[in-house]
Amino acid sequence: MNVRLRTSISFVAGVFYEGMVRMNNYHVSLSMTTNSGSSENYNIALDRMKYFFAECIDSSILINEEETDQCKKFVKAGLKLVTLPEEPVEQIIGMMLYCKLNAIADDHIIVNEVEISSELGDQVVFFHSDGEFQGPFVESGWWSQSDLTHYNKELNVKDNIMSMSRRNTWKDLDLDWPIDTESTTGNTIVFADFGRDETK
């Protein structure tokens, strides 16, 4: 039986906008529906979302990916970036979260709606839900990948390709989907033609 869920998450991030970094407190509410017969799978999906917020989004700098020079400076300073295809306003951040969280959940949970507000945005709540136009996120990018990626490009610093961080995998974090033992048990017979040369 599918279950409707709602959870709220808060995080702090810097916003690079108009040449300045300003710290901002964000509040996100997620409306979701379970889409798996396995409670283990949707608990893993929820844990993946929590981890993504805590380790990838919280304490990051949200920045337009076109600000390449500034991105390089932030990376050189050891800061964590989340690159976006447009300016990091609440509506764009909400669309990104809608796409990325659905990708992370791998259809075990469906995120139906994201509500986002912030202190810099005067607590005005922006909504994004299924069926609405995805804006710049129609294009495939890190937000459509189910891994922990939170930026599009590796940055060239001092003529060396320098990735921002070593990304853990879900398997490293014990948040991989369990193996379906029913489909992997039993014996399989494989018939193969090894191309024996009959002339020898």
The pLDDT score that the predictor gives to residue 90 is 97
pLDDT in tens, 116-148: 999 999 999 999 998 899 999 999 999 999 999
Mean pLDDT for 58-72 is 95
Tell me which DSSP letter residue 145 carries: S
pLDDT over threshold 90, residue 194:
no
Give percent above pLDDT 90 in the chain: 74
Alpha-carbon distance of 177 to 126, in angstroms, equals: 32
Domain boundaries, the chain: 4-184
pLDDT band at 173 (very low <50, low <70, confident <90, very high): very high
Whole-angstrom distance, CA of residue 127 vs CA of residue 22: 23
Place of tokens 């599009």: 152
Measured between alpha carbons, how far is 106 from 177 in angstroms, rounded to an integer?
10
188 pLDDT tier (thresholds 50, 70, 90): very low
**Pairing assessment for the beta strands 61-64 and 4-17 based on DSSP bridges:** parallel
Given this model, what pLDDT does residue 170 score?
A: 95
5-24: pLDDT as tens digits: 999 999 999 999 999 999 99
Q: What is the longest distance spanned by two Cα atoms in the chain?
A: 84
Q: Is the dihedral of CA 18, 128, 126, 114 positive or negative?
A: negative
Predicted pLDDT of residue 53: 97
What confidence tens digit (pLDDT) does each residue in 82-108 have? 999 999 999 999 999 999 999 999 999
CATH class of the domain comprising 4-184: alpha beta
- The model's confidence at residue 182, banded by pLDDT at 50, 70 and 90, is very low
Question: Whole-prediction pTM value?
Answer: 0.84
Provide the residue type at 78 as one letter: G
Question: Residue 175 pLDDT > 70, yes or no?
Answer: yes
Dist CA 156 CA 1 (whole Å): 49
Lowest average pLDDT, out of 34-48, 71-85, 155-169, goes to 155-169
Chain mean pLDDT for the chain: 86
- The answer to whether the beta carbons of residues 128 and 91 sit under 8 Å apart is yes
At 3, the pLDDT band (50, 70, 90 cuts) reads: very high
User: How high is the pLDDT of residue 154?
Assistant: 62
